[in-house]
């Protein structure tokens, strides 16, 4: 007990000191800005934005430039090697496999998760027990990626038929149907798709919530006019619902795409990147923290950043366009 207190004591004191320092900085800002007479609003805005800007620079901007610098260095960051790490990234067969897996994730997860969420949102809209039905598909969002990976690892679990009943749900269903249990996560033709299914299971709830809110925001006049014109259910969905919620669809696709590019926990938990299931984020971790190669790990991190950046800028552009249209 005394040892635990000795370990936790300094941490608690650091937390207390941090809170006191934060309150002190805010107090000094309020005191200083209260004395400003000319153009007070501008100084107040700058005063309160400055601490956040400093933290952003220390926690994001400086590490970003340091990572870019390290990506041109050798393993222990002692020698400049130019583009060698980037050439390695695209020239090795194992890395090309990782890139193809990542592409598969980015194509399938956003499209399928958004489709599942949209279809579910349309089907349960204004139905009985709508809130309960939505909570069922949204529930996986409350589970961490590691927790989801552990759950689905049990679903895919394999046990030799001679050892008795199957532990994994999927194999038990296969046995009930008269099939032979399979070691799913070792099957290199299916295991990546099975990991993708876990990500879709998690993200479909997010897509459903956002798209359901967008569907409910469709003006009743448009819906009633379409019904008076005698449109079918499919025409209502494809010609009225989808065009009306297009901005929300783009938001969902972009958000899930970014989350997919950073996917790491599921692969780490379920296969540890083995059996040809590696993705960029896991390869970055593996090179930087397992192999201890700062150069290659940083190059992979920079490449992920390069892939995410256009998606982020596209989203910002869409938000600005919608604001201009609203004005």
Residue 130 belongs to domain with CATH number: 1.10.3720.10
153 within a domain of the structure (yes/no): no
Based on the structure, what is the number of domains in the chain? 2
pLDDT at 34: 65
Query: For the chain, how far is it from start to end, CA to CA, in angstroms?
Result: 62
Domain final residue pick, 40, 70, 100: 70
Stronger pLDDT, 315 or 227, i.e. the higher one: 227
Residue 291 and residue 193 share a domain: yes
pLDDT (tens digit per residue) in 223-259: 888 888 788 888 888 888 888 888 889 889 989 998 8
Average pLDDT over every residue of 105-114: 93
Residue 92 and residue 40 share a domain: no
173 within a domain of the structure (yes/no): no
pLDDT at 108: 93
pLDDT at 112: 94
pLDDT band at 9; cut points 50, 70, 90? low
pLDDT at 17 over 60: yes
The residue segments making up the domain with residue 295 are 87-146+188-326
Residue 52 and residue 117 share a domain: no
Against a cut of 0.75, is the pTM above it? yes
Scanning 187-293, the segments in alpha helix (DSSP H) are: 191-216, 220-228, 233-235, 242-244, 246-261, 265-270, 280-285
Residue 137 and residue 28 share a domain: no
d(CA 148, CA 206): 15
Q: What share of the chain is helix, strand, coil (3-state, %, to 5)?
A: 80, 0, 20
157 within a domain of the structure (yes/no): no
pLDDT band at 14; cut points 50, 70, 90? confident
The whole-chain average pLDDT of the chain stands at 84
pLDDT (tens digit per residue) in 146-205: 999 999 999 998 887 667 777 888 888 888 888 888 888 888 888 899 999 999 999 999
pLDDT at 28 over 90: no
Average pLDDT over every residue of 73-97: 88
pLDDT (tens digit per residue) in 117-153: 999 988 888 778 888 888 888 888 888 889 999 999 9
Residue 200 and residue 306 share a domain: yes
8 within a domain of the structure (yes/no): yes
Domain final residue pick, 70, 104, 121: 70
Residue 140 and residue 96 share a domain: yes
Task: Name the token pair of 248.
Answer: 């929300």
Segment among 2-6, 48-52, 243-247, 267-271 with least mean pLDDT: 2-6
The sign of the torsion formed by the CA atoms of 226, 232, 233, 234 equals negative
pLDDT at 166: 78
Residue 316 and residue 263 share a domain: yes
272 within a domain of the structure (yes/no): yes
Residue 121 and residue 250 share a domain: yes
pLDDT at 167: 81
Domain final residue pick, 70, 98, 114: 70
Task: Name the token pair of 224.
Answer: 């009633």
pLDDT band at 3; cut points 50, 70, 90? very low
Residue 276 and residue 215 share a domain: yes
Residue 16 and residue 130 share a domain: no
pLDDT at 165: 77
pLDDT at 5 over 50: no
81 within a domain of the structure (yes/no): no
């Amino acid at each position: 007990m005394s040892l635990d207190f000795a370990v936790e004591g300094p941490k608690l004191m650091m937390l207390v000191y941090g809170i006191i320092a934060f309150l002190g900085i805010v107090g000094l800002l309020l005191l200083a800005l209260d004395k400003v007479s000319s153009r007070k609003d501008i100084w107040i805005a700058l005063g309160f934005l400055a601490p956040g800007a400093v933290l952003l620079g220390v926690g994001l901007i400086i590490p970003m430039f340091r990572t870019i610098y390290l990506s041109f260095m050798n393993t222990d960051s002692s020698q400049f090697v130019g583009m060698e790490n980037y050439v390695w990234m695209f020239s090795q067969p194992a890395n090309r496999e990782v890139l193809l897996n990542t592409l598969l994730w980015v194509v399938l997860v956003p499209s399928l998760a958004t489709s599942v969420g949209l279809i579910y949102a349309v089907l349960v809209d204004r139905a009985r027990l709508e809130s309960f039905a939505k909570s069922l598909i949204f529930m996986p969002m409350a589970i961490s990626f590691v927790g989801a990976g552990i759950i689905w690892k049990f679903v895919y679990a394999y046990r030799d038929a001679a050892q008795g009943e199957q532990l994994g749900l999927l194999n038990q269903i296969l046995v009930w149907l008269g099939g032979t249990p399979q070691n799913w996560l070792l099957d290199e033709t299916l295991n990546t798709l099975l990991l993708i299914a876990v990500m879709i299971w998690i993200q479909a709830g997010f897509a459903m919530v956002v798209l359901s809110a967008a569907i409910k925001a469709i003006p009743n006049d448009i819906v009633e006019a379409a019904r008076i014109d005698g449109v079918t259910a499919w025409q209502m969905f494809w010609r009225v619902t989808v065009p009306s919620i297009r901005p929300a669809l783009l938001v969902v696709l972009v958000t899930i795409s970014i989350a997919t590019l950073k996917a790491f926990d599921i692969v780490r938990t379920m296969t540890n990147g083995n059996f040809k299931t590696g993705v960029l984020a896991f390869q970055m971790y593996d090179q930087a923290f397992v192999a201890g190669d700062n150069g290659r790990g940083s190059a992979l991190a920079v490449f992920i950043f390069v892939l995410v950046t256009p998606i982020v800028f596209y989203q910002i552009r869409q938000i600005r366009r919608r604001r201009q249209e609203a004005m």
